[in-house]
């Protein structure tokens, strides 16, 4: 990652690739590294799709991407690619960093050290008051405050930091503000030097599963996440879990055991989150981390020759985000289903050559290295087969470069 | 400690010795071990006092002790000595265990595994509700609930466990109920199978410094202490600190950072106390400890020959309770001034032979072993000199068998 900007053509290719069917952040990364760039990946996609028995896999056309760019420009939204100087370094360090983020508002605020403040939509007066106070104090201490534009704690956090700098991450497209009542707040954020971020296409109406997906960006942008009030199994706990997986600090504000809105935060504290009762409890932890700077990650190599593909592929260590990390609560059910869920389930017809490999795979994760050893196939053949399985939604990637087979959809 | 009961004469001697001037739990232990029993210590005291330049040191007479016993008997109060079968094993394990406790009510409840519930006198409704619920659930789980009979949380904890068994520890004598409004509660505790415990003489009116002193017994009786609500620098935090020094579990109930009554408990959690939001958070920690049983301690050897004195003396490892333990908040100022404070300060006129030793001592703690080495004196001579210094209130004992010199009072 050289920190150079993409050309307009490259940016358009990136948008086409990330908007294509069954391509999410991780597949994007795999494809670009495999084919030396988005352009090469786009060229290879139809053939890859055919070989994987999916000739109808939808590749976004140049015209469609240009149309989205034009819609975005009309709202003052620009696309910033991973690796570009404006792309937030903290976000870039996460495994599922969006290849492109659509940004509206100030770029400056995205370059500042950030803290996320999240919590209940139906927060208590005490929770709202504390969120407001803490946000303001963090803003005064020089932090950008990140949240999700939701009702309750999120709204209070944004409002308290309008004049110091705040970042709202949306679960839908920039032209689909949710909740609608927060449109005025969104405009105030932009006017007063804040920023709005989304990875979703223009026109995308946010659905239930988009909110947890969005939450990984809230935590990914931030050095730490403060959960102010959270019931058990609430979205804020998902953000906390992402933060933990991303190696970010988790802070939780305690509350009375009689208040259901404190159950999630008290659980977090019991599970090792830092108890936050004052701004110093946050800043004293984050200051040394900020001084050390974000962990850097250069997972995408636009325009590099494919010779390094093997090495790059092996570098990937994809977390199994459907599995609870050690020492943190497990929200019920999976909540971040990537490509396989955000697009209609497609029929799986793997080519005959992959049968042996499929037979070796199952629901239990296995390291790719072990798969190569057990199959006796060349690593490049195994990797291509895995990529094809991934494109048809049959492959799940786990931490430690392990993979497992997803069940074939009913015919 | 053989677990046998004292004879009536021995019990009277124990009472005389612990009620004598400048004799607290630790001096009691030292004297009994040094002179082979309370009787021998009482015989030696006048000579020790004379040698230490304090001929007027008040030794409680047989008649005075008999009078206290009679007063106690009238209220149904009996004296239980450390090492006797009825003496609570958990309390016996602490360094400053009272040699005699005056018990009113059931002995059975004192034999059961106990948890202390402590907290603010001016507690919130939520704090009182949680204290009541937790106490009742702990009682139903078979625990005796220990507290201090104070207003607020203490009162609620006792009331919620009247029918399952509760223990109130008083800071004054059994005939000096404080607060007076809790006399009916005290009588209900006794009637319903609970117990009242005090180490103070009959007729003793509790003063400010007696409450922290009492708190060490509240924690000492218990496997763990739950602090429900506590402002900073409150008495409940002192109990928590004693618990930590005594190797007991500390639990704290979280609360909103906006509530000053939660500042102390939130601090405790940040400092390592277990967050308690449900009864399981307590029982899951204590059950394995109870299964293992209390650490035993046989620090007093009534009726054993003096030959083992040296060894027993060396076994003592007295904590410096004016110093904050690692990892726990330090309440402001000293709060458990033992003998030196509970009796009028006496004039210090150490005999000439101790001058060399006094010169070696200073405000910084030094190990007795080092003192022996540096002084070139026989260990027995050093120990006698230290005992005399202790009796005139010039010696402070610390952990690791270390001692330091206290300043001489103004003439």
Q: Mapped to the 3 state alphabet, what secondary structure does A297-358 carry? A: CCCCCCCCCHHHHHHHHHHCCCCCCCCCCCCCCCCCCCCCCCHHHHCCCCCCCCCHHHHHHH
**Contacts made by residues B407-410, CB under 8 angstroms, sequence distance 24+:** B407/B363, B408/B348, B409/B345, B409/B346, B409/B347, B409/B348
Nearest to A256 among B256, B269, B270 (CB): B256
Tally of CB atoms within 10 A around B308: 13
Query: Residue holding tokens 């570009």?
Result: A84
Quote the DSSP letter at residue B165.
-
Tell whether B251 lies on the interface with A, counting CB pairs under 8 A. Answer: no
Whether B403 shows a pLDDT value over 60: the answer reads yes
Contacts of A258 in chain B (CB under 8 A): 126, 129-130
Rounded (10°) angle between helices A153-160 and A183-191: 30
Q: How many helices and strands (H and E) does chain A possess?
A: 17, 12
- Distance in angstroms (rounded) separating the CA atoms of residues B251 and B265: 9
B300-329: average pLDDT: 35
Quote the pLDDT of residue A79. Answer: 98
**CB burial readout A185-213, b (16+ within 10 A) else e:** bbebbbebbbbbbbbbbbebebeebbbbb
Which of A30, A22, A27, A28 lies closest to A58, judged by CA? A22
CB–CB of B254 and A256 under 8 A?
yes
For residue B342, give the H/E element and its range. Answer: helix B339-342
Contacts of B272 in chain A (CB under 8 A): none
- Distance in angstroms (rounded) separating the CA atoms of residues A28 and A123: 38
Cα angle value A184/A75/A236 (rounded, 5°): 55
B44-52: average pLDDT: 85
- Distance in angstroms (rounded) separating the CA atoms of residues B172 and A185: 62
Closest-CA distance of chain A to residue B240, Å: 19
Nearest to A126 among B258, B276, B281 (CB): B258
CB–CB of B257 and A277 under 8 A?
yes
Side-chain half-sphere CA neighbours of A351 within 13 A: 16
Quote the DSSP letter at residue B178.
S
Whether A373 shows a pLDDT value over 90: the answer reads no
Tell whether A359 lies on the interface with B, counting CB pairs under 8 A. Answer: no
Instruction: Decide: B204 and B194 in contact? Cβ < 8 Å.
Output: no
- Distance in angstroms (rounded) separating the CA atoms of residues B133 and A250: 30
Nearest to A254 among B127, B269, B274 (CB): B269
- Distance in angstroms (rounded) separating the CA atoms of residues A366 and A321: 16
Q: Is A8 exposed, middle or buried (0-12, 13-18, 19+ CB in 10 A)?
A: exposed
Determine the residue among A258, A259, A274, A279 to mutate to test chain B binding: the one whose Cβ has the most chain B Cβ atoms within 10 Å.
A258
Quote the pLDDT of residue A409. Answer: 64
CB–CB of B257 and A263 under 8 A?
no
Say how many CB pairs under 8 Å bridge A and B.
65
Question: Which residue in chain B is spatially nearest to A279 when comparing CA positions?
Answer: B257
- Distance in angstroms (rounded) separating the CA atoms of residues B319 and B310: 19
- Distance in angstroms (rounded) separating the CA atoms of residues B354 and B385: 6
Contacts of B257 in chain A (CB under 8 A): 130, 253-254, 276-278
Give strand pairing partners of A111. none
Query: Residue holding tokens 């920039």?
Result: A174
Query: Residue holding tokens 């030793």?
Result: B357
Whether B318 shows a pLDDT value over 90: the answer reads no
* Residues counted in chain A: 411
Whether B209 shows a pLDDT value over 80: the answer reads yes
Residue B295 binned pLDDT confidence (cut-offs 50, 70, 90): low
Quote the pLDDT of residue B402. Answer: 81
Contacts of B278 in chain A (CB under 8 A): 257
Whether B22 shows a pLDDT value over 80: the answer reads yes
Quote the pLDDT of residue B300. Answer: 63
Tell whether B276 lies on the interface with A, counting CB pairs under 8 A. Answer: yes
Whether B52 shows a pLDDT value over 70: the answer reads yes
Nearest to A256 among B126, B270, B281 (CB): B126
Residue B397 binned pLDDT confidence (cut-offs 50, 70, 90): confident
Tell whether B129 lies on the interface with A, counting CB pairs under 8 A. Answer: yes
The two three-digit tokens of residue A266, written as one number:
């008290």
CB–CB of B275 and A262 under 8 A?
no
Quote the pLDDT of residue B73. Answer: 97
Query: Residue holding tokens 């702990």?
Result: B138
Instruction: Decide: A93 and A296 in contact? Cβ < 8 Å.
Output: yes
Tell whether B263 lies on the interface with A, counting CB pairs under 8 A. Answer: yes
Lowest mean pLDDT among A149-163, A220-234, B281-295, B335-349: B335-349
Max Cα-Cα span within chain A: 63
B352-373: average pLDDT: 72
Quote the DSSP letter at residue A393.
T
CB–CB of B275 and A270 under 8 A?
yes
- Percentage, residues of chain B above pLDDT 90: 61
What are the Cα distances from residue B224, in Å, to B244, B285, B325? 9, 9, 17
Residue A397 binned pLDDT confidence (cut-offs 50, 70, 90): confident
Which of A301, A323, A285 lies closest to A399, judged by CA? A323
| DSSP helix/strand/coil, B405 | strand
Whether B182 shows a pLDDT value over 70: the answer reads yes
Lowest mean pLDDT among A19-28, A52-61, B101-110, B325-334: B325-334
Residue A377 binned pLDDT confidence (cut-offs 50, 70, 90): confident
Question: Which residue in chain A is spatially nearest to B229 when comparing CA positions?
Answer: A256
Query: Residue holding tokens 């330091």?
Result: B404
Query: Residue holding tokens 């006698």?
Result: B384
Question: Which residue in chain B is spatially nearest to A125 when comparing CA positions?
Answer: B258
Whether B205 shows a pLDDT value over 70: the answer reads yes
Whether A1 shows a pLDDT value over 80: the answer reads no
CB–CB of B256 and A257 under 8 A?
no
Quote the pLDDT of residue A340. Answer: 28
B403 vs B227, which has greater pLDDT?
B227
Closest-CA distance of chain B to residue A232, Å: 13
Quote the pLDDT of residue B409. Answer: 63
Quote the pLDDT of residue A50. Answer: 85
Whether A181 shows a pLDDT value over 90: the answer reads yes
A305 vs A52, which has greater pLDDT?
A52
Residue A219 binned pLDDT confidence (cut-offs 50, 70, 90): very high
Question: Which residue in chain A is spatially nearest to B263 when comparing CA positions?
Answer: A277
What are the Cα distances from residue A238, in Å, to A150, B120, B362? 15, 35, 58
Quote the pLDDT of residue A309. Answer: 32
Report pLDDT digits (tens) over B124-149. Answer: 888 999 999 999 999 999 999 999 99
- Distance in angstroms (rounded) separating the CA atoms of residues B347 and B344: 10
CA B8 to chain centroid: 24
A197-217: average pLDDT: 95
Cα angle value A148/A149/A153 (rounded, 5°): 85
Tell whether A269 lies on the interface with B, counting CB pairs under 8 A. Answer: yes
Q: Phi first, then psi: what are they for A247, rounded to 5°? A: 75, 25
Q: What is the 3-state secondary structure (H, E, C) of B297-349?
A: CCCCCCCCCHHHHHHHHHHCCCCCCCCCCCCCCCCCCCCCCCHHHHCCCCCCC
Contacts of A254 in chain B (CB under 8 A): 254-257, 262, 266, 269, 275
Quote the pLDDT of residue B277. Answer: 98
Tally of CB atoms within 10 A around B364: 9
Radius of gyration of chain A (CA): 21
Whether A170 shows a pLDDT value over 80: the answer reads yes
Strands (E), A18-177: 77-81, 100-105, 114-118, 144-147, 166-169
Quote the pLDDT of residue B157. Answer: 98
Cα angle value B173/B178/B183 (rounded, 5°): 100
Q: Phi first, then psi: what are they for A177, rounded to 5°? A: -70, 130
> Is the preceding omega at residue B179 within 30 degrees of 0, hence cis?
yes
Q: Whole-number mean pLDDT of chain A?
A: 83
Max Cα-Cα span within chain B: 63
Nearest to A275 among B258, B269, B281 (CB): B269
The two three-digit tokens of residue A346, written as one number:
């497609």
CA A6 to chain centroid: 21
For residue B404, give the H/E element and its range. Answer: strand B402-405
Residue B302 binned pLDDT confidence (cut-offs 50, 70, 90): low
Report pLDDT digits (tens) over A285-335. Answer: 999 999 987 665 555 666 544 433 322 221 222 233 333 333 433 333 333
A383-410: average pLDDT: 77
Tally of CB atoms within 10 A around A408: 15
Instruction: Decide: A134 and A226 in contact? Cβ < 8 Å.
Output: yes
- Distance in angstroms (rounded) separating the CA atoms of residues A109 and A161: 11
A277-291: average pLDDT: 96
Tell whether A187 lies on the interface with B, counting CB pairs under 8 A. Answer: no
Residue B372 binned pLDDT confidence (cut-offs 50, 70, 90): confident
State how beta strands B144-147 and A166-169 pair.
unpaired
Whether A177 shows a pLDDT value over 50: the answer reads yes
Contacts of A7 (CB under 8 A, 6+ apart): none
Give strand pairing partners of A167. A146, A195
- Percentage, residues of chain A above pLDDT 90: 60
B225-245: average pLDDT: 93
| DSSP helix/strand/coil, A276 | coil
Which pTM does this prediction carry?
0.77
Which of B319, B306, B344, B378 lies closest to B43, judged by CA? B306
- Distance in angstroms (rounded) separating the CA atoms of residues A157 and A169: 13
Whether A53 shows a pLDDT value over 80: the answer reads no
A342-371: average pLDDT: 59
């Amino acid at each position: 990652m050289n920190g150079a900007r993409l050309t307009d053509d490259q940016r358009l290719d990136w948008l086409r690739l990330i908007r294509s069917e069954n391509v999410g952040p991780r597949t994007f990364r795999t494809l670009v590294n495999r084919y030396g760039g988005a352009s090469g990946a786009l060229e290879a996609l139809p053939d890859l799709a055919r070989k994987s028995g999916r000739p109808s896999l939808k590749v976004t056309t140049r015209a469609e991407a240009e149309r989205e760019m034009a819609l975005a420009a009309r709202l003052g939204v620009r696309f910033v690619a991973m690796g570009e100087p404006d792309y937030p370094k903290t976000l870039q360090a996460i495994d599922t960093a969006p290849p492109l983020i659509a940004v509206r508002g100030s770029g400056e605020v995205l370059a500042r050290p950030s803290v996320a403040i999240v919590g209940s939509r139906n927060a208590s007066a005490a929770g709202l008051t504390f969120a407001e106070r803490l946000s303001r104090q963090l803003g005064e201490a020089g932090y950008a405050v990140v949240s999700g534009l939701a009702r309750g704690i999120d709204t209070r956090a944004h409002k308290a930091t309008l004049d110091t700098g705040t970042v709202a991450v949306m679960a839908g497209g920039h032209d689909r503000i949710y909740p609608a009542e927060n449109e005025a707040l969104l405009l105030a954020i932009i006017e007063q030097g804040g920023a709005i971020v989304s990875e979703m296409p223009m026109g995308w109406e946010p659905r239930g599963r988009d909110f947890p997906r969005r939450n990984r960006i809230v935590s990914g942008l931030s050095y730490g996440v403060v959960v102010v009030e959270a019931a058990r199994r609430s979205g804020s706990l998902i953000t906390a879990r992402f933060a933990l997986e991303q190696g970010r600090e988790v802070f939780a504000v305690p509350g009375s055991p009689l208040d259901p809105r404190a159950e999630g935060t008290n659980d977090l504290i019991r599970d090792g989150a830092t108890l936050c009762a004052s701004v110093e409890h946050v800043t004293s932890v984050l200051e040394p981390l900020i001084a050390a700077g974000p962990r850097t990650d250069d997972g995408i190599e636009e325009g590099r020759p494919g010779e390094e593909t093997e090495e790059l592929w092996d570098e990937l260590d994809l977390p199994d985000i459907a599995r609870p990390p050690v020492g943190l609560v497990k929200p019920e059910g999976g909540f971040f289903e990537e490509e396989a869920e955000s697009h209609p389930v497609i029929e799986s017809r793997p080519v005959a050559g992959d049968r042996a490999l499929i037979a070796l795979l199952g629901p239990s994760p296995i390291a790719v290295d072990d798969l190569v050893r057990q199959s006796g196939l060349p690593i490049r053949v195994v990797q291509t087969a895995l990529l094809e399985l991934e494109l048809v939604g049959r492959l799940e990637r786990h931490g430690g470069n392990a993979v497992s087979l997803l069940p074939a959809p009913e015919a």
